[in-house]
Structure 1
């Protein structure tokens, strides 16, 4: 069986059991993510399939970053049956392994509020209450690095290719091909695969899905790419800015609302000059109005803010445009059912469940409050002087993790969307990360100052 995130027919215990028997699946990996989006897993035998399906597999939540305390540590895994997949790299003639992506519950079966997947489900429910479903199509870039004799990554890329480079300069083509084959077997619909701008940088695009499915897909995508890269002796990195002076890794996030009552894309309107609806403009305004509050989630690392600087195609200015790629928000040319809003600041180190939750909530906030979008910025912001940027009223994104965390803590999008548990745990974790960076003496400082002073 393959993973099906937008199923025409819901997966059932019976259909999964049939696949397990046909593919000789012996082990099941029950996967979930911690507060940073790191994939976690517990492995059981297929003899326990009934207990798995019933959500009866327990684990120690106090050992998971940002989860529960030691005196309330018993948590359970509830699998999403539609995320079942046989793992292609485990398949042998008479043996294979499978996986489920799970949500986390309390012993009584209620949702655990510290689970990022549950936070996104809550946002999906909020959209549904307003009459919408949310679709997300993320674009995750990554680098392939060489490894040393012990298999540890080094800062040497595995090719010297550039944008849309072909073999023999693009040595990563063989890795992307194997990733494509693997993801296809796991139910992905792959739309494009290519070398990106920087040396050793790549992108593989997959078809959009509902918000929860898209987060499942993004999580699986990162796991598969790292697994396949390792098979070739490479290290795949989703670090936002691993190489100074080169483009960083982004996770441009395309998002749209589907009006359930009208059965149509809520962002499309033929009467408008740009063929955008009032709902689309309200959504854009909500993103722009709230971005300072959620960028700590979509760009969660100290390193994230070294990508968000002028000159490397990453947006750092709070503006929107129908086509201008120097703006934070862009409207791709496709219209009709494919009308969507692209927000360009997120990077692939973000927890996709939390990122898509806050992005969706910010846009929905604009729809609910009927916020008016500012004037479109059609000129290249990167080529403007600071005076011109200021005259046009174009704001900057936060320039450091510390600034972003302050805005996240002072705002309401975080706690209203993610809840107090995740918000407080996230802030504590990221404050510690910033303090560690702030108090560390880095190589640049030693090289710059030791001899001089």
Structure 2
């Protein structure tokens, strides 16, 4: 819709409420509901939003190591810019108008805003003549719980939506068809079109693939998908989790990224070359080489929490090494070369717990790094089981190890800028510190009596 059409739709909306959200460093949506008059004023002057959204973690605990904001700044307002191009109506909430916002015009917050970071990386690709087309796919688990019931259980032994290993099961999806259909239909109405959705392996686990689009739209859809799924689930007294690994009994939850670069008219997929090995163009080879080269130094962008690294287990459908292959789901990067239009790279490292703005920015920026530096593919494609390959470089196995690797390298600052990189690293160091001082169930069971 053109801007004037959006403004007209808001003006004549039956609701006087307008909802807008920003995304914090962890990918959590933080929002406000405002009046039409406040919305109109915000378009002219931007909207004040307490900059604590970049000064606290996902549980609202304020960082003690942040330079961009903290008690030392008094937590002033930052000016959020509402993006009219993100206009939607919330179909499960009385068609209330909805917008995404970011801090691209904020002097002190633009450098650490995830959506602004992706916009900047996207602009680099466009300047080079590449049109990045991306899509996210997610796996997540569903439980017959509410936030209160799960808290009452102390977050242990949640009741799964369905029992048993029923991957791609028409039985399990039909068993909860009202919820299943609502996911598909309501998300489509929310302009988050689902290309496919099915059950996965595990108790109550689903997987959905979002239709591909321009990279910024793809990331917008991805963050709205996660929140949309949770809100729709609430309506059915179901609780959805995108935690990377909630149980050792089941595979973890991936948030894989599919990507390709096209020419400006979007007529030609620049990753495809019918005469080349594996039909991979030299551009794709450089792009893939860039991702492989940068991966060990930007892993926290894909795996941002302590729990993220529990997912990287051999034989679990999650990657454990710096590797690639053609149609190989045991590698970190999977080339899919079925047809010219569908030629793409799947980055399988990200978990469902990661911030989509950051995962997509990391994919594109590291791929462009390979193109700019004309990196060669020195790593041979894996044929067969990558988990049996003892020559591949292993990925960092903990958040502290991955964060230390990111901190020791100049690559992240080159890809994402100094302001973002420094702030992001501090937030990951904070995340690890929160875990280090916690007493876990494992420790209680192991040491409480016997020691």
TM-score, structure 2 as length reference: 0.90
Within 1, Cα distance between the matches of 2:75 and 2:443?
A: 44
CA distance in 2, matches of 1:381, 1:204: 25
**Partner of residue 69, structure 2:** 68
Structure-2 separation of matches of 1:235 and 1:146: 6
Which of 144, 150, 159 pairs up with 2:162? 159
How many corresponding residue pairs? Answer: 431
Residue of structure 1 in register with 2:364 after alignment: 360
Tell me the distance in 2 between the aligned counterparts of 1:257 and 1:107: 30
Change (3 A) 1:407 1:103: same
| Structure-1 separation of matches of 2:447 and 2:11 | 65
> Contact 2:296–2:322 (CA<8 Å) still a contact in 1?
no
- The answer on 1:44 being equivalent to 2:34 is yes
Structure 2 counterpart SS, 1:131? coil
Cα pair 1:319 1:394 within 8 Å, conserved: yes
- The structural deviation recorded for 1:173 is 3.8
> C-alpha separation between the residues in 2 aligned to 1:360 and 1:339?
16
Is 434-443 or 349-358 further displaced after alignment? 434-443
Paired with 1:259 and 1:160, the residues of 2 have a C-alpha distance of 46
Which of residues 276, 289, 294 in structure 2 aligns to 1:290? Answer: 294
List runs of 5+ in structure 1 lacking aligned partners.
Answer: 1-9
CA shift for structure 1 position 219: 0.8
1:260-312 per-residue CA deviation (whole Å, 9 max, x = no partner) reads 38952110001113111001111111111111111111110111111011121
Most deviating of 423-432 and 216-225: 423-432
Partner residue of 1:266?
270
1:6 aligned residue: none
Long gaps (5+) in structure 2:
57-67
- In the TM superposition, what are the counterparts of 1:313-392 in structure 2 within 5 Å? 313-373=317-377, 374-382=379-387, 384=388, 389-390=389-390
Residues 200-279 of structure 1 mapped to structure 2, 5 A cutoff? 200-260=204-264, 263-279=267-283
The two structures, once aligned, show a CA RMSD in angstroms of 2.2
Q: Distance in 2 between matches of 1:117 and 1:51?
A: 22
Counterpart CA distance in 2 for 1:80 and 1:274 is: 40
- Three-state SS of the structure 2 residue aligned to 1:255 is strand
Aligned counterpart, 2:100: 101
- Measure, in 2, the Cα distance between the counterparts of 1:11 and 1:34: 28
1:169 to 1:214, Cα distance in 2 relative to 1, 3 A: closer
Tell me the residue number matched to 1:82.
85
- Runs of at least 4 residues of structure 1 off by over 6 A? none
Residue 430 of structure 2 is matched in structure 1 by 432
Q: TM-score, normalised by structure 1?
A: 0.89
Match of 1:15 in 2: 5
CA contact (8 A) 2:162 2:172 kept: no
Of the three residues 43, 59, 68, the one matched with 1:53 is 43
Supply the distance in 2 between the matched residues of 1:156 and 1:80 (Cα, whole angstroms).
39
